Chain A
């Protein structure tokens, strides 16, 4: 469903993505991990054209992201995205955050958009906060609203860019629970995260990146179950990140 073919990207002379190739099949959950600065977030943002790339191709359901004649807004409306810093619109109520793009992009009627919005708020456990503003919610609540906002577009796949990194520890689980439910329902997901517990629980595959390159791209069972078969860099990373969990 999402396919990266030899994607490379430079900031000036600095190469942030080096020949990255991987894919996410329909219904698959792929976790992307790696040390900070390894290009994980950049890679996931190229998937819906938020970050341009100079070489390679990205295909989503047969549509090329980088092609000049691609209708990017239409493509993006089919791919949900959740950000590290939530990026809810602070001047709009929670409900308006959920309905804005439904009305403007999908052309839904206001009433229909609100109905869909209410359904999704209920699903993430925030029905009571419909009329509040984002600033009145905790970080975990804001991130759940952000997930509901993305789901309101009825996307075919969801991208998560470190969705729990900006949260207080006690709020991480409420967000992960929502994501686990989504994964179990068969949503196609690409998730950049350091939460290895989440990866173990629901990931199908794990992609490990370092210095802009994809170093490992294997099944979850191989990644966690066969440390000897891993590259030196991934071993180091795993030993650091898993020693306390």
Chain B
């Protein structure tokens, strides 16, 4: 056991990527999609003229942003079975599985951050745009869905993608639920084969390459959009 053992990496690569990275990417994409939908609804609530709606959304966002993600993961892992049991009137906790629990947690947590991005996005659209929509007889949902949100999403695409990269990194925390994401898979191999240095260096390199490449792509998207305007 001397020297840097590349062979371990090569041997376990199919497992690391097909099981570990696939899980990480699946969780990242589904969490981001869900969090953008929930975050957009929260942003609409925050900007609503109703004190109640904006108050509830504001409190939710501030609470989520004030707590560490790992704590929320624990909370939901132990709470979600009880909540599902209560909602389905089963009278007992229902096991939901680690992936579902993690997905729900990430959606609820990241929605707070996507909410702030979408709030800025909605506010970046001149109020006259909504006024013109209303003047044509469109209702609130039509004005939002057809006029304000499409423009807000467009303006905010770089920020949304950047936050998605953060989600990608955050998903590694699911190791506390003993889920096999990319880092979890690397850790499994590291413990089993006693190759801690190799596996953690390799994991760091892969996270770096993916995150860095993605953030370069965001820059390209940003520049393209600047030209299109």
Contact = CB atoms under 8 A, between A and B. Distances in A.
B68 interface: no
A158 to B, nearest CB: 11
B214 to A, nearest CB: 25
A135 B139 CA distance: 25
B14 interface: no
Contacts of B139: 73
B154 interface: yes
A89 B137 contact: no
Interface stretch (B115-123, B143-151, B172-180): B143-151
Contacts of B142: 104-105
B129 A87 contact: yes
Nearest to A50: B131
Interface string A41-81: 00001001110000000000000000000001111111111
Contacts of B150: 91
Contacts of B135: 48, 50, 76, 79-81, 83, 150
B229 interface: yes
For chain A, the bracket of interface size reads 20 to 34
A194 B160 CA distance: 44
Nearest to B136: A101
Contacts of B3: none
B129 A89 contact: yes
Contacts of B218: none
B137 A77 contact: yes
Interface of B: 126, 128-129, 131-139, 142, 146-147, 150-151, 154, 229
22 contacts: A45-B131, A48-B135, A50-B131, A50-B134, A50-B135, A72-B134, A76-B137, A77-B137, A83-B128, A83-B135, A87-B126, A87-B128, A89-B133, A89-B147, A90-B151, A91-B150, A91-B151, A100-B146, A101-B137, A101-B138, A105-B138, A150-B136
Given A76-B134, A101-B138, 20 more contacts: A73-B138, A74-B137, A75-B137, A77-B136, A78-B137, A80-B135, A83-B131, A83-B132, A83-B135, A85-B128, A89-B129, A100-B136, A100-B138, A101-B137, A105-B137, A105-B138, A106-B137, A135-B229, A150-B135, A153-B136
